[in-house]
Structure 1
Amino acid sequence: MSRAALLVLADGRFPAGGHAHSGGAEAAVKAGLITGAEGLEAFCRGRLHTAGLVSAALAAAAALGVDPSSLDAAADARTPSAALRGASRKLGRQLMRAARATWPSEELDALAREFPKGAHQPVVLGVAARAAGIGPEDAAYCSAYESVSGAAGATVRLLSLDPFDATGVLARLAPEMDGVVGAAVAAARGVVGGGGPGALPAASAPLLEIGGEVHAAWPVRLFAS
């Protein structure tokens, strides 16, 4: 495994398009669910244990070489909101462009041909991790961290929140990220062991889904999702 490659993939400056998305934070701020660091921490904790767990498991399974088509279908089934499905595919398409330029791979090329409009982001992330020589645990860590760091960064911009406070939120969530990654990788290995994609977590986050639909209807917004 290449830890240096992990740093490149997980770097917020990697041109994967995440800076244009708030992970649901913009809708949560508008709804009054996030007004400061305390609300951000509660929001990120809920996101980590639901959408974050699902995404981390999908990324780990893809990094293990599970058929990405079946994983993409599993991601679709676990994302009721059409707006969030669309956002995930847009992020997947952008990540695919960056990953193919950085780590040329036949697997990435095949996935791009199969999903010209974009596969789900965590599936692309897992295949990109394979191309970069990164294992399932690190792919899951990358996905889990992205699931909360994007919302934290967006909240700094939305509320002019002190960046130190936002970083403190991420640091306090680190032990919980460890637990989520452990569960995600165990589930992914269960898929490889014969459980099929149905063995992956399907934790739901109804407020994220509702917020995603509401946000998509706004005529003016700072973030794409």
Structure 2
Amino acid sequence: MRKRITLLTVIVFLINFLTIAYAQDGNRLFSDDFSTYANVWETQDTPDYTADYDQDNLAFFMDIRTTEQEVWSTPRSSLDLTAYVIEVTAVIDATSAADSMAGLLVNYVDEDNFYVFILRASGYYEVRLRLDGEWLDRPLVFGKAPQAESYRLSVQNQNGVFELGLNGEPLVPFVNTELSGGKFGLYAQSGDGPMLVRFDDYLVRDLRPES
């Protein structure tokens, strides 16, 4: 009798596990490993910077050749989301200036209103908010990142409650309701010198309740 109960318990557990896993995967709205042009990210090529697909490394790169220059890109299928999880892997090249930064662009309403969750080449992370064309004086979150060759950045937002992750480790959560909805994308900014960053494995999940 004990063996039957144990076997039944295992079967029920596996069914529940597979159901949960399927439900989580069903919330996936968007993913891109940049191996093709299917999602059509916005590309730019100017004397100051280039944002384009890297066919050799199967990534999306931003190469900024001037100081204090911003670059961002959104995909053609970028949705207007209010509750989401967004992730990306970022590798900032070792030749980049220490004060350069790169990461996730979220709640992008327009060029004057958005959040960024960025990693600095110097090894620090922060969340910044641009509101009505001006950056807030202080970052919403700031901290020291563990040393690594690449970083997996994640942002979860539900009704202005933000939860952050860096290489699978949770960071300090925060609340900010200045912006709701908006598109998602990639962001980079040079500092006192040039910078180069490559992005890979972009993922978006929808956290809105199913209707």
Bin the TM-score by the shorter chain: under 0.3
Q: Which has the higher contact order (CA 8 A, sep 6+)?
A: 1
Q: Point out the structure with the larger strand share.
A: 2
User: In terms of Rg, which structure is larger?
Assistant: 2
Give the alignment's TM-score, normalised by structure 1: 0.24
